[in-house]
Amino acid sequence: MPKITSIQDTGRMWKEFHILEVSFDNNDKGTALAKSTTPAYQVGDDVQYEKNERGGIKIQREQSTNFSNQNFTPKVSNTNQSEQIARSVVFKGAIDLVGAGVIEIKDISRFVEQHLGVVTGAVSQQAATYASHFNEESPF
């Protein structure tokens, strides 16, 4: 995979993009567009690129697990994110009930814990399931 050996700002712009001259260790070079004069790729990065007939290049950085040179914020796992969304939904419902005068503000945390399992699909210990609450047969 080619490595970037040089990145030079040409001082020219195209629309809102800076035009950069980029050179590689395989003796190839071309012009790239970037939103700033310091793009996401740097000298020394291993990259893949496509070059068009006019010398314009589109750079794709190597996908690696080495994030030491990058500002990396790990994403929240889907499970944790789903639970946080569910908790927010139940909390919003509790706030609405407080506004309607159905429950008191001091009961919000108990309400959230009691009903979170219903929203996530895991019935909480205190919440009763529909089947146990309504045990009659359906007329349909």
Q: Residues 9-57: pLDDT tens digits?
A: 999 999 999 999 999 999 999 999 999 888 888 999 999 999 999 989 9
Q: Over the chain, what is the mean pLDDT? A: 80
Q: pLDDT, tens digit, for every residue of 101-123? A: 999 999 998 898 888 888 877 76
Cβ neighbours for 17, distance < 8 A, ≥ 6 positions apart: 33, 34, 35
Q: Report the half-sphere exposure of 122 (CA within 13 A, side-chain side).
A: 8
Measuring CA to CA, how many Å separate 125 from each of 23, 116, 118, 122? 63, 10, 10, 9
Q: Where are the domains of the chain?
A: 4-61, 78-133
Q: Report the predicted TM-score, pTM, of the whole model to 2 decimal places.
A: 0.44
